Every structure is written in structure tokens, then in C-alpha cells.
Amino acid sequence: MRLLRLGFVIALASGLAAILIYITGVSNPDWSFHISNEDLEALRSLQSHFQQCVSANGLGLQAVSGRDYCEITMKFPMETVPKWRDPKTGELEGLSFDFNLCEAVATWEQVRNTTTILTREYIDALPNGWEEYAWRRINKGVLLNRCENRTLCMEKLSLVLPQRPPYIPRQFGRCAVIGNSGDLLKTKFGNEIDRYDAVVRENGAPIENFTEYVGTKSTFRLLNRGSAKALDKVAELYDKGKEVLIVKTTIHDIMSKMIREVPILNPVYLILGSSFGSAAKGTGLKALEFALSMCDTVDMYGFTVDPGYKEWTRYFSESRQGHTPLHGRAYYQMMECLGLIKIHSPMRADPNRVVKWVPSHSLITAARIASEKVLRRIGAGSADPLAACSIIEKRQKGKITSMSGFKKAAIEHQKYVKGTTMYPLEHNPGHGLLCMVP
């Protein structure tokens, strides 16, 4: 009996030791043991190209490597004057910001393969989608009992919910996202902006009286909570309802009533957002996310990105407070040097400007695969685009979107994902996807 007990104790100890070794291995910060030499070389090369790109294009910004190939610190010149104060501490914004290149590459490359419009099929496919998720997309001041009354819940959201995505990745070629910064008045970008395939604007930013600076074309307009609540006023800006309204906040009774009763001719949709770090907030970044999810290339104007620009203003109003301009500028420069966007500003006004040292497409692909492994993303390292799908559902029979009028890149993308629609799972720590297969 004693031998049996001793054997049991030894077996138990061995099991606990094995578990401890496993946990230690999984949590080991020296993640180089878990990825190949090719993965390490891709991350090393990405960081090198990124640092040289920031040095060549960042107008004084410098990118300093951290303790591994993912960490990077963006530093502003010492003579930069910060303007924003933390509302809690009262402290001025600093001149350096830490970013994670692996997180940025993995997340943004996933965005480029997903749809960012919320649909009924997305909510239908989620476990308890109408009761729980839909509740979060409706004003919580309305007593819907967590959407247990599915009919009432659908009635409110159906105003802005298509059954399937109205837009797909690569649907447009060249796209421009127009911010509201006062630096737009320093350069006449109007004619240049009007030559893009699609133009995304923000909130209630006017076009009339500013056309030589901001152009006349407007394909989409992304709205925050304040603008969405004044949807009837914002709609006065539009040319016979041609502009599509993308709302980044929750739906609410005020908006529902306006859509029903006010003659708003514009299509209205809700954006389904990906999860980013603390630096990536605000309407501007959501507009870039929306554009990157359906455009080959994305250029940005009016985002106050030049390090030497000292004022934070709108081009159509007085100075404003509440933003973190230096943090945002550093993040946008990071996006440019990952090949995601191209920045246009008074100090970068040449439309033919070449962004030097941008990593190649093949390098970004290799770095994305390595980054997913480092971050232990769902489906990391797999060549199958469906490997990142946390939830896979079969699409219900219905009208299939005709691809005959789409550009070649969009058709090729549909072939690559095997006709599957990929949705980002909001606030998902593993950055998984909900995938609707044909």
C-alpha cells in the first residue's frame, strides 16, 4: 500500500512538474524559441526598414528599437512643443510613444481582408447575438430587456442593418480619407482629392466654401455620436443622398426617429470595428480602418501630422481641445511606414512624393505571419485564410452579389478567401474572425 501511495505521489508530482514546465514555456518572454529563423529575419528586416522609413519621411521623428523586434519607440524632436494635457493629471503630453509593430502589422493586415459594415448575418451568427451583442449596439437608455424582445430589437437596428455587406475588400482602387484639421487651409488639395476613386469625410465637415482646399467629391462620411444624433442637420450637407453615412457609435431612438420621419435619402450603416491599442482611437482612425477594409491604397489629408505644426484647429472652426495630437501623429507615421497609408500635408504636398524605405509587400506578408505567431493569434502561420476564423457559419441562401462590375483586385480577393465574408470579432483578445462561408 505504501508503494502504491508513493507511486501515486511521484506520478502526481511529475504531472504538476510537466504542467509547470508547459506554463513556463508558454509564458516565456523569450518568444524566439517558438518561431523559425525565417520569422525572426522577417521581423528584424521589418524593424530595420521601418526605422529607416521614419528617419527619411518622419520630418524629425525617430524610431528607436526596444527590447525585441516588435517594440518600437517614436520620438519627437526635443524642440517640439506639446499642447495637450491629460485631463486627469494635468500633465503635458510627452515627446515619445511606445508602439508594437507586431500588433500593428497583424491587426491591420487582418483589417484589409475583412468587411467593416455590421450586418444581420453577423448578429445571427453570434451566440446570443440578438440578445447580447445587438443590445450593445442600441442605446442602453431604451428598456429592451437585453433584446429578449427580438422583434423590437430588429425593428430598431433594421434601419441601418443590411443582410449582407454592401462593400467588400479591394472594391475600390485609390481612396482618400479627409480629416478636419486646419492645416488643410495651408495647401489647395481640392482638385487632387477629387481624382480619387472614393473619398471618405468625417462628421459634419462642410465642403461648400472650402472646395479649393478639400475638394467636392464625397463618397462616404463617418459619423461619431454627436454627429449621428444630429443626423438631420448633417444630411443637409449631402448632394441628393449620394453620400453614404457610416455611423461608428451605437444606434439610438433619436437617430431611429430621424431616419423614419426626416427625408434622409442617404444609405446609413453601422461600422463594425476592429480592436486596436490605446493610441488608435477617434473618428479619424476609424475612417482609415473603413477605407483600408475596401480600398487598394489609402491616402490621408487634414490630420495634423507634421511635427512642426503647433495649433490644433478645424479648417471650418476655431481651435479645439480634447485630442492627443502628438500621440496621433506618431501613430499615423507608423501607419505610413508600414505601407498602410500615404500622408499628405503642407510639408508633404507633392502628390508624386515617394515614401522611402516602405517595406515590400512580400516582407509585410512574412512579418505578418511571424507577428501572428509571436502574438499567438488564432490560425497563426497557416496559409489558409479561414484559419483565423473563430466562428464559421454557412450563409443562408439568398441573392449573391454579382462580381461582374468589380475591379480585378476585388475579384482576386474573393477567390483567395474562397468567397467567404470575414468579419472582425469586436473586442476579441485573440483577434479571431467570424466567417460566413458560401
Average pLDDT over residues 341-352: 93
The residue to which cell 517595406 is assigned = 359
Q: Is the pLDDT of residue 6 over 90?
A: no
Query: Which CATH code of 3.90.1480, 3.40.50, 2.60.40, 3.30.70 fits the domain covering 110-119+162-437?
Result: 3.90.1480
Q: Domain boundaries in the chain?
A: 110-119+162-437
**pLDDT over 70 at 83, yes or no:** yes
Average predicted confidence (pLDDT) for the chain = 84
pLDDT digits (tens, 9 = 90+) for 15-46: 333 333 233 333 333 443 478 999 999 999 99
Please give the Cα distance from 150 to 51 (Å, whole number): 52
Range in 4-8, 53-57, 153-157, 158-162 the model is least confident about = 4-8
Which one is predicted more confidently, 233 or 366?
366
Per-residue model confidence as pLDDT tens digits over 109-121: 999 999 999 999 9
Are residues 219 and 243 in contact, defined by beta-carbon separation less than 8 angstroms?
A: yes
**Per-residue pLDDT, 386:** 92
Query: What is the rounded distance in angstroms from the CA atom of residue 43 to the CA atom of residue 39?
Result: 6
- How many C-alpha atoms does 385 have within 13 Å on its Cβ side? 21
According to the model, what pLDDT value does residue 433 have? 93
What is the rounded average pLDDT of the residues 78-104? 87
Instruction: Report, in this order, helix, strand and coil percent for the chain, each rounded to 5.
Output: 40, 15, 45
DSSP 387-430: GGEEEEEEPPS-PPPP-TTS-HHHHHHHHHTTT-EEEE-TT-TT
- Mean pLDDT value of segment 330-335: 94
Rg (C-alpha) for the chain, rounded Å, is 24
C-alpha–C-alpha distance, residues 353 and 343, integer Å: 10
Contact 423, 434 (CB under 8 A): yes
Instruction: Give yes or no for residue 238 having a pLDDT over 70.
Output: no
pLDDT in tens, 243-300: 999 998 888 888 888 888 887 888 999 998 776 654 446 788 899 999 999 999 999 9
